[in-house]
Amino acid sequence: MINKRDEIKDWYDGYLFDKTEIYNPWSVLNYIKELLGDKDFHAISFWANTSSNDLVRQYIENATMKMKEEFEELINGKSIIKKITPELTYREMNFKSSKDMNDNVYSFLLFTGYLKIKEKVYENNELVEDTYKLVIPNKEVKKIYENIFMKWFESYQRERRNEFINNLLDDQEKRAQKTLNQVLKSSISYYDNYESFYHGFMVGFLNADGYEVKSNRESGEGRFDLAVLPMDIDDLAIIIECKHSNSIKELRKDSKEASNQIIEKRYIEGLRDEGYENVIGYGISF
């Protein structure tokens, strides 16, 4: 058990009652129970399987874009500064949509153990009343945020996926660009910001019913990044070449370079040789 001390602390510690350090007793007891049956057992989020997470899930799903960005910062191990309301009524916590959301959410998350106070906040050497730096208390709670965020994001992607593909099929690149920007803006920024990430992201994003996504497959005189192939060979197929830009001002240049690569490497002709007569190509830069 001694060699598991650090793991228990990382996963289930992080709470203070006045000046007394407190572990999550429910999770620690479950961890010990599992460890007695398997000495190689590794910590998991026991709290994640309880119904108390439903409200947190509701708050994240209804959060404003600014609040989602703040949740991202928390997941990334950063702190956020918030004014805490010491006494909350149920009416003040009844958020039915993003229009109703406000910073009372953070007070609720603090009082229920989903956040903890890192330190008090001072301005000009004076204490700011009821205002604190807040952080996620431990790995167990961080895992809850990550799981809820990912489920929300997967649902959000499903809603936008067909919209994006249909815009590409209809040659509505401006609308497709807007949809993709919305999805990326709503994603979690702790992912790698490199071409390899965006390639993987697009593979997952484009997996829609009625289409097959091919990645890095030989076609023409090279290998295309992505192809969205319809089940009916007579329907329109899409080839996408992805680039990663180092700055915003390079986006147009890099996307044009990606488009030129589709032409120069004869990716479209390669698909036509396979029987897809209707093929359209897009260069995208992130």
Domain spans, the chain: 2-144, 191-285
CA proximity to 85, closest of 54, 59, 106: 106
Contact at 8 Å (CB) between 213 and 203?
A: yes
pLDDT (0 to 100) of residue 127: 93
DSSP 34: H
pLDDT at res. 236: 92
3 state DSSP class of 184: helix
Beta strands in 111-248 (DSSP E): 116-123, 126-135, 211-219, 222-230, 237-243
pLDDT tens, N- to C-terminus, the chain (286 residues)? 667 889 999 999 988 777 788 898 989 999 999 989 988 899 998 887 666 677 777 777 777 778 888 888 898 899 999 999 888 766 666 665 555 567 788 988 898 889 999 999 999 999 999 999 999 999 999 998 888 877 777 777 777 888 888 888 888 888 988 888 878 776 655 444 555 567 777 877 787 677 888 887 788 788 888 899 988 889 999 999 988 888 888 888 988 998 999 999 999 999 999 999 899 999 988 8
pLDDT of amino acid 10: 93
pLDDT at residue 190, as a whole number: 44
Q: Which two tokens stand for residue 190?
A: 């702790």
Question: 252-261: buried (b, 16+ CB within 10 Å) or exposed (e) per residue?
Answer: eebbebbbeb
The third-level CATH classification (topology) of the domain covering 191-285 is Trna Endonuclease; Chain: A, domain 1 (3.40.1350)
How much is the pLDDT for 68?
A: 80
| Residue 217 near residue 224, CB atoms below 8 Å | yes
pLDDT of residue 135: 95
pLDDT value for 192: 45
